[in-house]
Amino acid sequence: MIDYENMDDLTHLNDEEKLEIVEMEIKKVVNISDLLFQALKYHEDMDGFNGLIYGSILLSFSVFNIRKLFPLD
């Protein structure tokens, strides 16, 4: 089982485990993207903006975890 709380050692995982994490992160990105769209569409008041901020934080964590798995440089 992968320790998703401590994701510091992602570069030492095998390819199958990396793919599993990437699939999970992509699902999160898609779901959060849908939620952000719905928030923009139906919640134009201040409460909706709090959801957008939280959604953007979750998206940034997903992207960060994918970049740790597959460094660009």
Output the pTM of the full model: 0.54
Instruction: For residue range 2-59, list pLDDT tens digits in order.
Output: 555 666 666 677 888 888 888 887 878 777 777 776 766 666 665 666 777 777 777 7
Residue partners of 26: CB distance under 8 A and separation at least 6: 62, 66
The answer to whether 60 and 25 are in contact (CB under 8 A) is no
Residue partners of 53: CB distance under 8 A and separation at least 6: none
Task: Check whether 1 has a pLDDT greater than 60.
Answer: no
